[in-house]
Every structure is written in structure tokens, then in C-alpha cells.
Amino acid sequence: MKQHLFFTACFLFLQSTTFSQDLTGTWESTNTSPYEKMVLFHVGDSLFGYTHDIQMGFCKTNFQGTFNKGSQQLKGKGISFISKSFGHGLSRYVLNYRDYGSYQELIGNAYAKGAVGTMLSFGLPIPLRLKRTNSLPDSVTTFMNKHLQWHEGQPIKTNNQQIVQDTPTILQVTAKNDDTLKTELRKRKDVLVQTIETSDTVKLTLYDNGQIDGDTVTLFHNDSIILYKHGLTASAKMISFVVTESNSLQTITMMANNLGTIPPNTALLVIETNGKKYEISLSSDFSSNAMVKFIYKQ
């Protein structure tokens, strides 16, 4: 359920005599450790996407960069975290494009971004050799979607599904009792992600937050199960409730039922209330739950 949002997007096929290279696609490291993946959309001279590395933990970041067709060089950086484990930071990248006919590679280095990261890494670069494993992105994030648009009325395609305009499914919420899950929920640590003050209806839309890999979650509203062992695919789920003076503290808690193929479980929770919109990344595993609190404030 890693960071993939099923929004309307576009795919610009740049096949012209003035710009022959299109770096759109999924790029993965040829070495087994550390594992690095870069997923890109190539629009003009700009690149938008995300990176995912696994090295003593994991880190997934939104990526933005440029490609110089003269030097055949990509330069970019992680601009914000999607999800990460302790000790990981943002990076900047300098990679050279190579086309060997039967396959293409991006070869170069990743550098720690910022003074603290540079100090912790002793200023040493991480060598990278990324091979294009698919000419289509494996998923589309919120950040990528914001920088894309329709091209001649055609929706973008990924290697595992077609991105179409998505209307979230509105759930008819009925609380479900499952004492086993509730007991397991209490065994795990609740990690407070955000507290939101409101005196209005709260509309929640839950999206997959990246690559679909078989994760399932259970969503609790206070002590009631409102989404039961749900596998987040591309389809968004919408839930709504009201925060009132008589019910002034309410919580939404996400509990992982499994870890899929790429732990931990991550999802994007879009919250609309009091005329404001929040986009919150939730992460859960077998030791911790992700929680958002709602407090009544007139």
C-alpha cells in the first residue's frame, strides 16, 4: 500500500527531434545493497517523481530535478519525506544518462542534503547505478500528480494499472466488533501524527500511498472498527463524521494487519474540515499504530 494515489494525471510522450531522451519510467539499482529506486515523469526539461531506498531502514521521498540534454545529466533532490525510518535524510542526485541500445542506465552519485546530513555521512557520496526496469512509472504520488496534466485527453498508464479520474467510494460506515483486533490494537504503541481542531464535519479520504504491494489495514474511529482488514488499492475510500461540543475528542487510528512486500504499511489520509485541507502520511507496523486526533474548538 506504499504511497500511490489514484488521481487524474497525464503522460507526456516527448518523442521529438529536439528532445530525444525521455527518462519517464521506473529505475532500480543493479546492486542488491543498498537498494535504490527512482520513479520519474519527464516533462520538458523537468523531472518529477519519488525515490525509495532500503539501507539500514528505509526512506521514501518526493523528488524534483532537471535533465540537461546537452550533457545528458540529471540533477535533482529529495524535497520532502513520504515515509522513513529513523536516521534517514534527504539527498541530492547527480546522475548521467547512458543508452546502451538494449537497456538504459543512470550512473552517478547521491549526496546527503544539508549540513547535518553531510556531517553524518562525512561528506562521502553514495555511488548509484540505476537500470530502467520499466518505461512506465510503477505508481503516481500526490506530488507527481500535482505537476502533471492531461495530454490530448489521454490518461496516464502505469505498469500495473491505468490512472483514471477517481471518485472516492463513500463508505456506509457500520461499526464492526472484532475483539481480537481490538486487543492487538491496544498492545501496540499509538503514534500521534497530527492533532486537528475543528467544529465541523470531518471528511476523510484514504488513499494508497505508493506502490501497491498487498498491504491491509484496519481503521478505527475511536474504539470502533470502520474499515476492516482493508487492502488499499487504487480506489480511494471516503469516511465522514462530525466533531461536536458533546463529543469533543475523537481519534482515527490505522493498524497494520500485515506488512506486504515492502514494510511498513503507509497510506495517505486527506482530511477536509472547517474549509481547510490536510494531507497526512500514515505509517504503521506490528509495533505501532498511526493516530490522528480531532479536538472540538469553536
Average pLDDT, the chain: 75
Whether the upstream peptide bond of residue 264 has omega within 30° of 0, thus cis, is yes
Check residues 156 and 25 and name the one with the higher pLDDT. 25
Report DSSP letters for 191-236, one per residue. EEEEEEEESSEEEEEEEE-SS--S-EEEEEETTEEEEEEEE--SS-
What is the per-residue pLDDT for 87? Answer: 67
Per-residue pLDDT, 236? 63
The mean per-residue pLDDT over the stretch 38-64 comes to 85
Average pLDDT over residues 50-67: 85
Question: Could you tell me the residue ranges of all domains in the chain?
Answer: 25-146, 169-296
* pLDDT at position 290 over 70: yes
The pLDDT of residue 114 is above 60: no
CATH code of the region 169-296: 2.60.40
Q: Report the C-alpha gap between 75 and 64 in whole angstroms.
A: 9
Sign of CA dihedral 162, 168, 172, 175: positive
pLDDT at 269: 81
Identify the burial level of 16 via C-beta atoms within 10 angstroms of its C-beta, where 0-12 means exposed, 13-18 middle and 19 or more buried.
exposed
Mean pLDDT of 272-295: 88
Beta bridge partners of 38: 27, 51
More confident site: 153 or 49: 49
Nearest to 210 by CA among 292, 140, 298: 140
Distances, alpha carbon 233 to alpha carbons 29, 91, 173, 210, 236, in Å: 26, 29, 19, 10, 8
Q: Does the pLDDT value for residue 132 go beyond 90? A: yes
- Confidence at residue 43, expressed as pLDDT on a 0 to 100 scale: 79
Q: What confidence category does residue 68 fall into, taking pLDDT thresholds of 50, 70 and 90?
A: very high
The share of the chain scoring above pLDDT 70, in percent, equals: 71
Alpha helices in the chain, H assignment, sequence order: 115-120, 142-146, 179-187
What CA–CA distance (Å, rounded) separates 108 from 126?
Answer: 8
Q: Which CATH class is domain 25-146?
A: mainly beta
Bridge-based pairing of strands 224-231 and 216-221 is: antiparallel
Q: Which amino acid is at 15?
A: Q
Q: Is the pLDDT of residue 96 over 50?
A: yes
- Average pLDDT estimate for 226-231: 78
> Computed over its alpha carbons, how large is the radius of gyration of the chain?
21
Q: What is the pLDDT of residue 229?
A: 78
Which pLDDT score is estimated for 155? Answer: 44
**What's the pLDDT at 253?**
92
Identify the pLDDT of residue 260.
Answer: 64
Q: How confident is the model at residue 56 (pLDDT cuts 50, 70, 90)?
A: low
Q: Which of 19-28, 251-260, 269-278, 287-296 has the lowest mean pLDDT?
A: 19-28
With CA atoms as reference, report the closest residue to 166 among 68, 222, 237. 237
**38: closest CA among 100, 99, 91?**
91
Identify the band that residue 32 occupies on the pLDDT scale cut at 50, 70 and 90.
Answer: low
Query: Given a cut of 60, is residue 71 above it in pLDDT?
Result: yes
pLDDT tens-digit readout, 144-182: 776 664 333 344 444 433 333 333 344 444 456 677 888
169-296: same fold as 25-146? no
Determine the 3-state secondary structure of 140 from DSSP. coil
